[in-house]
Amino acid sequence: MQSGRAKTKEWQLDYEPEQPRSVEPLMGWTSSTDMKQQLTLQFETKEEAVAYCERKGIAYQVIEPKDSAHRQIAYADNFAFRRWEPWTH
């Protein structure tokens, strides 16, 4: 599996739901009248995001990104006898 690191350097502001979602009785779809749940803002730095929240009076919580563990492997490890996952197509 390959995962890109594009757009991982930005800070993101997501709004918490202000109202619970409701279930529509006929079809069973969930809906909400809270439109802020659909809004996501991107910032270059953590300081910009915090300043925006303080300027607008938005309660915020900063979640620091976790460092991902990177294990260096060789191409030959794909064909090793004691492989973690079976090698199949």
Q: Is residue 77 part of a domain?
A: no
Q: Is residue 54 part of a domain?
A: yes
What is the structure's pLDDT at 6?
Answer: 72
* Token representation of residue 54: 């303080």
CA dihedral 84, 86, 87, 89 (to 10 degrees): -140
Q: Which domain holds residue 44?
A: 11-63
CA distance 8 to 60: 20
pLDDT, tens digit only, all 89 positions of the chain: 456 677 678 899 998 888 888 898 999 998 888 888 888 999 999 999 999 999 999 999 999 888 777 777 788 877 777 777 766 65
CA distance 12 to 45: 9
Domain count, the chain: 1
Q: Is residue 87 part of a domain?
A: no
Task: State the Rg of the chain over Cα.
Answer: 21
